[in-house]
Structure 1
Amino acid sequence: MLGVHFAITAEQEKLLLDADGDDDAVSEILGDLEEEWPDDDLKVDTDKAWDAIHRCLTDGTLDPDAGDPPLSLAVAGGRHLHDEMYVVHVTAAEVREVAAALLDIDEAWLRERFGDFGDDYDGAADEQDFQYTWSNLADLRDFYQRAAAAGRAVIFTAT
């Protein structure tokens, strides 16, 4: 699954939250959002690295309820809006908290947590995988700074 974070407008947020509980409606809104998204700084692709990033920011598992906010909210720990795929909502207030917490994350911190993921991790958990994860986390950290500055909520999707 490929991960993408979008810093959404208040109008987009309302549409998605109003559709919560209706997977078809959420999927349609998400499809429109992805198709019409302007190519700007309020979107970041984390490709397959989102999995390792979430594990490092929580307890080493992919459990969306693992770890402690605000770091657990950075990828898969927010409000889930779809039953069959990741469509995870983080409020604008939470985005500010995540952005501040991510500023404390450096390469050494990530390295301490990287690789102890258990049997359900599909990545290699080697140095190349670490560098890939670190690069994507750095991009995600910068994205959260921009989303917080814009006062936006965030939607994470993995499809």
Structure 2
Amino acid sequence: MGIMACYLSLNDALANEVVQLDNSSIITKIEQLMEDRLCPVYEMDKCWDGLHFLLTGVSASHPIEDDPLSEAIVGVHVLDTEDFIAVIGSDELPRILASLQAVDRIALQEHFNLSAFREQQIYPNTWVDEETDERFEELTLELQNLISFYERSRDQGHDILVSIY
């Protein structure tokens, strides 16, 4: 199955409930929210580290503090480090969204090199040169999907709960 990333769009009541939970209860709550479809969810699956690397040049395992592109993937405020859970506040979302929208996709494609993904051991370890075009399309589609999800969340005044486990 592997390590997957999910992004949950939480209204104030749900966000307040989640941040009050202890580490052992957060995962249970996330799974309940997703299973019962109690909030909008975007599942990035296994592309989170690849997209982080594409946008920042480093693995998501080394988040860049105060970098909105890094924060877009891994969140801003860490709630649980064992099972990686973080939050992006609704007030932080516009700054992050503006950075995502400003990404120059032509420049990304010009510098896209799957051997760099392999050298940096970007998860998952499936970066084969023969699939360069497909992988770039996959990552840029995830980028666009994340932007759309964040735009809807911003418009509703929601916080984002990031779960990577």
Asked if these proteins are the same fold (TM beyond 0.5), I'd say yes
RMSD: 2.1
Q: Does the C-alpha gap of structure 1 residues 48 and 8 become closer, same or farther in structure 2, counting only changes over 3 Å?
A: same
Of stretches 116-125 and 89-98 in structure 1, the one that deviates more from structure 2 is 116-125
How many residues align structurally? 155
Deviation at 1:77, TM superposition (A): 4.1
CA distance in 1 between counterparts of 2:57 and 2:158 reads 27
**Alpha-carbon distance in 1 for matches of 2:73, 2:63:** 11
User: 1:14 — aligned with what?
Assistant: 16
Partner of 1:75: helix, strand, or coil?
helix
Query: CA separation in 1, counterparts of 2:64 and 2:30?
Result: 25
1:68 positional shift: 4.2
1:124 maps to 2:124:
no
TM-score (norm 2): 0.82
Give the fraction of aligned pairs with identical amino acids, expressed as a percent.
21
Select the structure of larger CA radius of gyration: 2
The within-5 A match list for 1:77-116 is 77-112=75-110, 114-115=112-113, 116=116
Say if 1:8 and 1:155, in contact at 8 Å, map to a contact too. yes
**SS state of the match for residue 73, structure 2?**
coil
Alpha carbons 1:58, 1:67 under 8 Å: kept? no
Distance, in Å, in 1 between the alignment partners of 2:88 and 2:147 is 15
Aligned partners of 1:57 and 1:67 also within 8 Å:
no
Task: Give the 3 Å change call, closer, same or farther, for CA 26–89 of structure 1 in structure 2.
Answer: same
- Judged with a 3 Å threshold, the aligned counterparts in structure 2 of structure 1 residues 132 and 76 are, in CA distance, closer, same or farther, namely same
For 1:1-159, what aligned pairs fall within 5 Å after superposition? Answer: 1-19=3-21, 22-38=22-38, 42-66=40-64, 68-112=66-110, 114-115=112-113, 116-117=116-117, 118-121=119-122, 122-124=125-127, 126-159=132-165
Q: Quickly say closer, same or farther: Cα 1:77–1:61, change in 2 above 3 A.
A: same
* Distance verdict in 2 for CA 1:120–1:45, change over 3 Å: same
The alpha carbon displacement at 1:90 in A equals: 0.6
Structure 1 residues without counterparts, runs of 5 or longer: none
Return the letter of the residue paired with 2:92. Answer: E
Encode CA deviations 1:32-57: one digit per residue, 9 max, x unaligned.
2112225x8x3222121111111223
Structure 2 unaligned segments of length 5 or more: list them: none
Which residue identity is paired with 1:57?
L
- Measured at CA, do residues 17 and 80 of structure 1 come closer, stay the same or move farther in structure 2, by a change above 3 Å? same
